[in-house]
Amino acid sequence: MNPIVSWHLTCALSLLLASSLAGCGADAPDPIVAGDPWLNSREATDVEVEPVPSSTYYPVPAGRLLEAEQILAHTAISQISPSEAEYFAGHPVEMPDVTRPFLIRGLYRSERSFFVRIVGDALWVGSHDDPADRAPLQRQPLVLIMEEVPERVYVTAGR
């Protein structure tokens, strides 16, 4: 076989294999590593933890992930308009007059299920993954409807 053709076939097969292992797709997020800026573990403290009602946050659907990730590329939280909140939630969102919509960062491993809590003067977004789960981290932006949101945001996976 011609060496140039062989080299092109090798490259094509390598790309094909890498795409299939990464779960290739137009809207599929890339797996991330522990050093990714979205991961921001909170310090263990004895500060009061207050749960945020699950009816006030929604995962962004797959078809809108890349857009939401772009908005959150350089910040853990971004205020958005009510119409953007419904767009990114993928359905109508109830917003009492005193609330504001935000996009926030979230991470998960296997369980695409989240909790949001107020921890002292910070917001904590975590997934319900088993702490021993070693699956690759996946980004998952969330729409959050709240009155006020702390400036500091912790993002974890596996509690």
Q: Write the pLDDT tens digit of every residue in 48-70.
A: 889 999 999 999 999 999 999 99
The answer on pLDDT for 101 being more than 80 is yes
- Cα 109 versus chain centre, distance: 11
| pLDDT score recorded for residue 113 | 94
Q: Kindly report the pTM of this predicted structure.
A: 0.75
> Of 115, 113, 105, 116, nearest to 139 (Cα)?
105
Give the residue-averaged pLDDT of 110-116.
93
* Residue 151 pLDDT greater than 90, yes or no: no
Lookup: tokens for 41:
């573990």
Q: Which two tokens stand for residue 131?
A: 């702490």
Is 2 within 8 Å of 119 (Cβ atoms)? Answer: no
How far is residue 142's CA from residue 52's CA, in Å, rounded to a whole number? Answer: 13
Mean pLDDT, all residues of the chain: 80
List for the chain the helix, strand, coil content (%; round to 5).
Answer: 25, 25, 50
